[in-house]
Structure 1
Amino acid sequence: MSRTLRALRAAALAVALPCVLVAIWWFASDTSTSFYAPPLRTILSRFDDTWTADRLRDDVLPSVARLLAGYAAAGIAGVAFGVVIGSSRRARAVCEPALEFLRAVPPPVLVPVIMLFAGIGDTMKIAVIASGCVWPVLLNTAAGVRAVDQVAAETARSYGIGGAARLRHLVLPAASPQIFAGLRQALSIGVILMVISEMYASSSGLGFAVVEFQRSFAVPEMWTGILVLGLLGVVLALLFRLVERRALGWYHGSRGARRKAGDGGA
């Protein structure tokens, strides 16, 4: 099967389930008379009037900017501390109890605490996002660093490769698959925390818009906000997948080569 056909088949499979779910929602809700669960056609009919260019600029763009800022901060901190903890047994022994305690605290619980120190502006929202996204990145990075191949590590040591060169050419490439796994988990957590943080004393953002629609009993408009959040999650996941494939092309290529070699041997 050619690469083009495989790509078309993968795209068809990816689109099939969402189309089926939308069709089920459309027909199941078509005769609904519930105020709180209007038909999908009613929700979609309000979409254009609700999400105008002004609202996209005032609510969607600020939400995305806060998400990216918190996500980037969590990614940098998670990778940095994960490398340190994964590389040093002593650092791991010292930090592990505190990490387990902090990881067990749900980030939404920290929102009132962070508000006391950071106020109710963008800093608070970015801090909330970062406080939840950092843990999957940190833990996956530490696990990836600990799993570096010992033969490769000993070879680097015997050739006198250490410090930044060892980190750049051995540790980070070897741990990168697990680092990206942590970043993937953190992305979905970040979207959730973005919405939660914007529901607290905010004047803009997707979370704020959904709450405002709910408080004013604009139920179809509230549902459109939920759809926008879902679409945003899909777009971010697709963009992340593209970045991951580009960054880990060498890894997926080596896995494919090993798989072909195994099939040929069988």
Structure 2
Amino acid sequence: MKTLKSVGYLLGLPVILLLWWWIGTSGEANFFVPTPAKLVTTFIDTWFGERMLTDVLPSIMRLVVGVLAAIVLGIVLGLAVGLNRTMRAVTEPVFEFFRALPPPVLVPVLMLLVGINDGMKIAVIISGCVWPVLLNTIEGVRSIDPVQNETSKSYGITGFSRIRYQILPSATPTIMAGVRQALSIGLILMVISEMFASSSGLGFTIVQFQRSFAVPEMWSGIVVLGLIGVALSFIFQWVERRVLRWYHGLKEVENAV
């Protein structure tokens, strides 16, 4: 019964939206909004073939590499800055400056510095995804319970052991919140980076469909992006449940009390 209820919550709104879409397009044909049946046919014809290898998979690969690099870079820098008050005071104005820059405006600069290649697209993704991970890591390290710090010192837990067994576990809930933000930002920047001086990728292909007035194909590309976003969300939830198993268990105990 509980499983059926969960499935109902998961599929209820999508089914309602599909019915609304089907009813709205069942009358007079609309050039700009295809019917569900037309979109499904176009989706299969467009993406289940050569474009899967030339556009979808390379885009996903760039997204994965960029996001993972941003996560590693953000956590490492966040730990270094969060554990050092002097470094935090020195870097905070610089971080705030670069965080305020919209990543798309860096695309022309990165094209000059890196070149027009996959490295540029990955660099654009990193430039936007690193900030939520970095800042959340710093905040997570700063908000660690002082009693934990004193207990670690009294037991002689220092250096890398302290980072591994005390700091990282305590800061992980905050870090994971930053990772979740980075995933959505990364998907957006993946598309934007492929719109500039590119000859392949989802962003490039969707823009080409739009410019040639291939409306059903354009909508099918948007559906692909949505499916990638949903897949990333489910993967993140699966990883988060395992990484933060202790944290969710603690919350359940607190709510029960």
Both proteins in one fold, TM over 0.5 = yes
22, 34, 41: which one pairs with 2:37? 41
- Which residue does 1:253 correspond to in 2? 249
- Which residue does 1:78 correspond to in 2? 74
Q: Does 1:167 find its partner at 2:169?
A: no
1:46 Cα deviation from its structure 2 partner: 1.2
Q: Does 1:63 find its partner at 2:59?
A: yes
Deviation sequence 1:69-106 (CA, Å, 0-9, x none) = 10011001100111112111111110010111100000
TM-score (norm 2): 0.96
Matched length: 257
Aligned to 1:46, the other structure's residue is in SS state: helix
1:230 Cα deviation from its structure 2 partner: 0.4
1:19 Cα deviation from its structure 2 partner: 1.5
Question: In structure 1, how many angstroms separate the alpha carbons of the residues matched to 2:254 and 2:32?
Answer: 53
1:31 Cα deviation from its structure 2 partner: 2.5
Aligned residue type for 1:245? R
- Which residue does 1:196 correspond to in 2? 192
1:21 Cα deviation from its structure 2 partner: 1.4
Question: In structure 2, how many angstroms separate the alpha carbons of the residues matched to 1:109 and 1:179?
Answer: 26
Aligned to 2:198, the other structure's residue is in SS state: coil
Question: In structure 1, how many angstroms separate the alpha carbons of the residues matched to 2:98 and 2:191?
Answer: 21
Structure 1 residue ranges, 4+ long, deviating more than 3 angstroms after superposition: 5-8
Aligned to 1:242, the other structure's residue is in SS state: helix
Deviation sequence 1:46-66 (CA, Å, 0-9, x none) = 111111232111111101100
Unaligned runs of 5+ in 1: none
Aligned ranges 1:193-232 → 2 under 5 Å: 193-232=189-228
Question: In structure 1, how many angstroms separate the alpha carbons of the residues matched to 2:119 and 2:230?
Answer: 26
Aligned to 1:119, the other structure's residue is in SS state: coil
1:32 Cα deviation from its structure 2 partner: 4.6
Kept in 2, the 8 Å contact 1:31–1:39? The answer is no
3, 11, 16: which one pairs with 1:15? 11
Aligned ranges 1:174-193 → 2 under 5 Å: 174-193=170-189
Aligned residue type for 1:116? L
Instruction: Give % identity.
Output: 55
Question: In structure 2, how many angstroms separate the alpha carbons of the residues matched to 1:96 and 1:6?
Answer: 47
Aligned residue type for 1:23? L
Aligned residue type for 1:69? V
- Which residue does 1:237 correspond to in 2? 233
Deviation sequence 1:148-207 (CA, Å, 0-9, x none) = 111111000111111000000000000000100000000000000000001111121111
Unaligned runs of 5+ in 2: none
Question: In structure 2, how many angstroms separate the alpha carbons of the residues matched to 1:157 and 1:47?
Answer: 59
1:12 Cα deviation from its structure 2 partner: 2.3
Quote the RMSD (CA, aligned, Å): 1.2
1:7 Cα deviation from its structure 2 partner: 4.3
TM-score (norm 1): 0.93
Question: In structure 2, how many angstroms separate the alpha carbons of the residues matched to 1:143 and 1:83?
Answer: 10
Q: Does 1:102 find its partner at 2:98?
A: yes
